[in-house]
Amino acid sequence: MYSRQAGRFTLPGFGGPSGPPPRDVIAILAVLFVTFSCQFFASTAILPALMWLSPDVWQRGFVWQLVTYPFAGIGQPGLGIVFEFLILFWFTRDVYLDLGRRRFWRLILPAAVVAALAALLVDVLAGFAGWLAPAGFTLMQGQRVLLAIVIASFAALHREATIYLFFILPIRAGWFPAITLLLAFLAFLQIRDLPGLIGITAATAFAWYRPAGWGYRGNRGGKGGGLKELRLRLRKRYLEWKLSRLKKKRPLRAVPGDPAPGGQVRKGPWVH
pLDDT tens-digit readout, 14-45: 444 456 789 999 999 999 999 999 999 999 99
% of the chain exceeding 70 in pLDDT:
71
CATH number of residue 180's parent domain: 1.20.1540.10
Q: CA–CA separation, 151 vs 157, rounded Å?
A: 10
Nearest to 233 by CA among 223, 241, 243, 245: 241
% of the chain exceeding 90 in pLDDT:
43
Does some domain include residue 221?
no
For the cut 80, the answer to whether the pLDDT of residue 48 exceeds it is yes
Q: CA–CA separation, 24 vs 53, rounded Å?
A: 22
For the cut 50, the answer to whether the pLDDT of residue 8 exceeds it is no
Does some domain include residue 229?
no
For residue 173, give its domain range.
Answer: 5-214
Does some domain include residue 137?
yes
Kindly tell me the sign of the dihedral angle through the C-alpha atoms of 55, 61, 67, 73: negative
Does some domain include residue 122?
yes
Does some domain include residue 243?
no
Q: CA–CA separation, 120 vs 170, rounded Å?
A: 36
The pTM assigned to this predicted structure is 0.71
Total number of domains in the chain: 1
Q: CA–CA separation, 181 vs 271, rounded Å?
A: 68
48 and 143 in contact (C-beta within 8 Å)?
no
Q: Which residue has the higher pLDDT, 268 or 241?
A: 241
Nearest to 143 by CA among 31, 45, 35, 32: 32
Q: CA–CA separation, 193 vs 133, rounded Å?
A: 6
Does some domain include residue 269?
no
pLDDT band for position 134 (50/70/90)?
A: low
